[in-house]
């Protein structure tokens, strides 16, 4: 442009002038035609999307079957568990999907089966369900909890459902055996939802907490209408159920200690559970999300019993004293104070809840100040998990949503039947920002999403995710950004503690910041997650190595120095004699 004349030549002049003008105009046209429109150029280069839907590339073709029928059984709207697990011990996270099932008038053209997808390591997965022997159960499937209950190094699978649940022991050779009856964990007659493995008595064996939802039967056909159409009855019309707690006897059998533990009297519609040490006494506690029943904050009394402190802790009800419709739940330190906070997903108009640990009361509802309320008012939330997707050291939040009522859009203008997931970036101290624009295509469309699991399936340090959809294919999301920042991974193995190290607490100091993470049991909705812990390193300068402190579930404290970044550090629980600084 600078080579062009500053002034047009006089057009009334000679043909030479005209020629100059024509040249000028020609050059202008050329520029206009070939140059980009400068006003439309972005201020910076376009960013890659945070998550990419790689379901197709991964060859995941399984379909969830809800059994949707004219009878409108509530269970049809509620299934969809999913798990990340390394079932064959090859260091790669595999996937397990729990299917729903047929209902009396909701039949499938082909057999309804669960799916176990083996990670081939190249971004692709292979369906090995039938070979593995976990593809069929004789009940309507709901959720999954993965845990190594016999500490043999291979994760086992507990599938929840109605009117039974099942435990599949991992034989270690790529196959599973149904050991439900022998183990005594059938939970017969109940509609079970989420389950979680945790060692409540710290004897080194994983026990099992099962949330039961509601009194239900396929013989109990109800007629509820909305806008003249037969639809699902609201959950309050179904009576709640007590929790089930199984104690692991250490010999492949379990004992139902629901009564003894005090949990049997806590009747309500329980859907989500996470196990974590709430009060810092080293013993695992439970937060149970319940649907139109008050949430439970069950503090481990260290004697085999639990005490519900939800009311005093101000997490049971909303500020008006009404129970919300709690479905999914997760725990994590969202504001960096070293104490666990909780997120619970709820129904539309209730907004999802963020309970942040304070001193008095024990928790404060920060849903509004965190902006979570603003982002979630119109959504029905299910699976949820804290993940540091960008590895900046702050826990972000992933939530999947979807309504249950097909006719909702005929009665409301602001609530949709299919709803997009939410990726919320933690700006610091637990204040969130919606990352919808950059999150990826999957976040721009609506789904009937239910289960959500997180895990690093390509071991690049970017925590990936997968969510299920009713009567649809799941969505596997690859994290494109996390691996680009410094991170440190922990792959813990208990020896005296349970082998999965569920209940372990990891503390890292990075400059002035203390980062605390836990290996939790349960979390999200009906789902189970990669047991490894990825901790993003905040700040602009990257340390060459890091020190960490691990509080093992049995109470052992281990201090580690020189942990390498951008890799998973395999850490085995030391014996008493090994408790010294270990250079790695």
Q: Which residues bind another protein (CB under 8 A)?
A: 223, 225-227, 311-312, 314, 317, 319-322, 351, 360-361, 367-368, 371, 373-374, 377-378, 410-415
**Shortest gap between Cβ of 353 and another protein (angstroms)?**
12
DSSP string, 451-515: EEEEE-TT-SSS-EEEEEETTS--EEEEESSGGGS-EEEEEEE-SSS-TT-TT-EEEEEETTEEE
Nearer to another protein, 139 or 351 (CB): 351
**Shortest gap between Cβ of 227 and another protein (angstroms)?**
5
The H-or-E segment that residue 184 falls in is: none
Nearer to another protein, 16 or 319 (CB): 319
- Alpha-carbon span 552 to 339, nearest angstrom: 16
Nearer to another protein, 73 or 432 (CB): 432
- Residue 361: asked if its preceding bond is cis (omega within 30°), the reply is yes
Angstrom CA distances, 107 to 68, 80, 311, stand at 8, 17, 43
DSSP letter, residue 77: G
- Alpha-carbon span 222 to 228, nearest angstrom: 15
Angstrom CA distances, 115 to 85, 98, 122, 126, 160, stand at 13, 7, 19, 10, 15
Nearer to another protein, 180 or 370 (CB): 370
- Alpha-carbon span 571 to 560, nearest angstrom: 9
- Alpha-carbon span 277 to 473, nearest angstrom: 35
Nearer to another protein, 320 or 577 (CB): 320
Nearer to another protein, 370 or 480 (CB): 370
**Shortest gap between Cβ of 270 and another protein (angstroms)?**
19
**Shortest gap between Cβ of 371 and another protein (angstroms)?**
6
**Shortest gap between Cβ of 392 and another protein (angstroms)?**
23
DSSP string, 234-295: PGGGS-BB--EEEEE-SSS-EEE-HHHHT-TT--B-EEEEEEE-SSSSSS-EEEEEEBSS--
The H-or-E segment that residue 115 falls in is: strand 115-119
Nearer to another protein, 130 or 322 (CB): 322
**56-66 b/e with 16+ CB inside 10 Å = b?**
eebebebbbbb
- Alpha-carbon span 195 to 210, nearest angstrom: 4
- Alpha-carbon span 197 to 158, nearest angstrom: 9
In angstroms, the first-to-last Cα distance of the chain is 60
Determine the Cα angle at 297 with ends 248 and 405, to 5°. 100
**Shortest gap between Cβ of 373 and another protein (angstroms)?**
5
Tell me which residue of 416, 424, 310, 303 sits closest to 361, measured CA to CA.
310
**Shortest gap between Cβ of 411 and another protein (angstroms)?**
5
Nearer to another protein, 152 or 225 (CB): 225
**Shortest gap between Cβ of 412 and another protein (angstroms)?**
5
**Shortest gap between Cβ of 320 and another protein (angstroms)?**
5
**Shortest gap between Cβ of 359 and another protein (angstroms)?**
11
Give phi and psi for 61, each to the nearest 5. -120, 0
271 touches 291 (CB < 8 A): yes
**Shortest gap between Cβ of 321 and another protein (angstroms)?**
3
Nearer to another protein, 21 or 412 (CB): 412
Runs of H (alpha helix) within 417-500: 436-439
Nearer to another protein, 412 or 514 (CB): 412
Nearer to another protein, 314 or 500 (CB): 314
Nearer to another protein, 196 or 356 (CB): 356
Nearer to another protein, 315 or 563 (CB): 315
DSSP string, 297-316: EEEE-SSS-EEE-HHHHT-S
**Shortest gap between Cβ of 335 and another protein (angstroms)?**
17
Residues 6+ apart with CB under 8 A from 560: 547, 548, 549, 550, 569, 571, 581, 582, 584
- Alpha-carbon span 496 to 432, nearest angstrom: 39
Residue with tokens 């002034």: 7
386 touches 47 (CB < 8 A): no
**Shortest gap between Cβ of 550 and another protein (angstroms)?**
36
């Amino acid at each position: 442009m600078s080579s062009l004349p500053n002034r047009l030549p006089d057009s009334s002049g000679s043909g030479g002038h005209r020629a100059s003008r024509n040249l000028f105009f020609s050059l202008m046209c050329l520029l206009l035609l070939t140059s980009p429109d400068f006003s439309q150029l972005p201020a910076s280069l376009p960013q890659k999307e945070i998550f990419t839907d790689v379901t197709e590339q991964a060859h995941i073709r399984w379909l969830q079957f809800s059994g949707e029928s004219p009878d409108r059984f509530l269970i049809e709207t509620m299934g969809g568990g999913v798990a990340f697990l390394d079932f064959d011990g090859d260091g790669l996270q595999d996937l397990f999907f729990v299917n729903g099932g047929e209902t009396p008038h909701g039949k499938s053209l082909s057999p309804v089966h669960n799916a176990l997808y083996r990670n081939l390591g190249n971004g692709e997965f292979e369906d090995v369900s039938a070979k593995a022997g976990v593809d069929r159960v004789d009940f309507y499937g709901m959720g999954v909890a993965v845990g190594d209950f016999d500490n043999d190094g291979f994760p086992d699978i507990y599938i929840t459902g109605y009117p039974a649940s099942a435990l599949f022991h991992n034989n270690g050779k790529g196959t599973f055996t149904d050991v439900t009856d022998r183990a005594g964990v059938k939970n017969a007659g109940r509609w079970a939802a989420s389950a979680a493995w945790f060692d409540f008595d710290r004897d080194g064996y994983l026990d099992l907490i099962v949330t039961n939802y509601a009194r239900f039967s396929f013989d109990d056909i109800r007629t509820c209408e909305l806008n003249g159409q037969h639809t699902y009855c609201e959950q309050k019309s179904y009576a709640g159920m007590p929790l089930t707690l199984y104690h692991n006897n250490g010999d492949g059998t379990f004992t139902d200690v629901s009564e003894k533990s005090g949990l049997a009297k806590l009747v309500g519609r329980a859907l989500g559970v996470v196990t974590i040490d709430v009060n810092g006494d080293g013993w695992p506690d439970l937060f149970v999300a319940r649907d139109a029943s008050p949430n439970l904050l069950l503090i481990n009394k260290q004697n085999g019993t639990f005490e519900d402190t939800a009311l005093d802790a101000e997490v049971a009800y909303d500020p008006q004293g009404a129970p919300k419709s709690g479905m999914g739940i997760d725990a994590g330190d969202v504001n960096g104070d070293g104490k666990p906070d909780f997120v619970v997903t709820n129904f539309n108009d209730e907004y999802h809840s963020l309970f942040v640990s304070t001193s008095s009361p024990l928790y404060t509802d920060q849903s509004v100040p965190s902006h979570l309320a603003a982002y979630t008012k119109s959504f029905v939330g299910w699976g949820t998990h804290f993940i540091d997707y960008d590895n900046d050291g702050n826990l972000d939040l992933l939530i999947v949503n979807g309504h249950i009522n097909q006719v909702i859009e005929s009665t409301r203008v602001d609530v949709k039947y299919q709803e997009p997931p939410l990726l919320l970036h933690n700006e610091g101290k637990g204040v969130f920002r919606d990352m919808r624009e950059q999150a990826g295509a999957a976040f721009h469309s609506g789904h009937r999403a239910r289960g959500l699991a997180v895990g690093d399936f390509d071991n690049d340090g970017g925590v990936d995710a997968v969510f299920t959809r009713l009567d649809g294919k799941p969505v596997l999301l690859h994290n494109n950004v996390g691996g680009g920042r410094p991170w440190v991974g922990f792959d813990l193995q208990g020896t005296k503690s349970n082998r999965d190290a569920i209940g372990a607490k990891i503390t890292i100091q990075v400059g002035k910041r203390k980062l605390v993470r836990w290996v939790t049991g349960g979390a999200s909705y009906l789902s189970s997650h990669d047991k490894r812990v990825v901790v993003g390193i905040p700040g602009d300068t990257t340390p060459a190595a890091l020190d960490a402190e691990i509080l093992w579930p049995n109470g052992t404290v281990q201090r580690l120095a020189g942990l390498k970044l951008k890799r998973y550090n395999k850490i085995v629980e030391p014996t008493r004699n090994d408790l010294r600084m270990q250079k790695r």
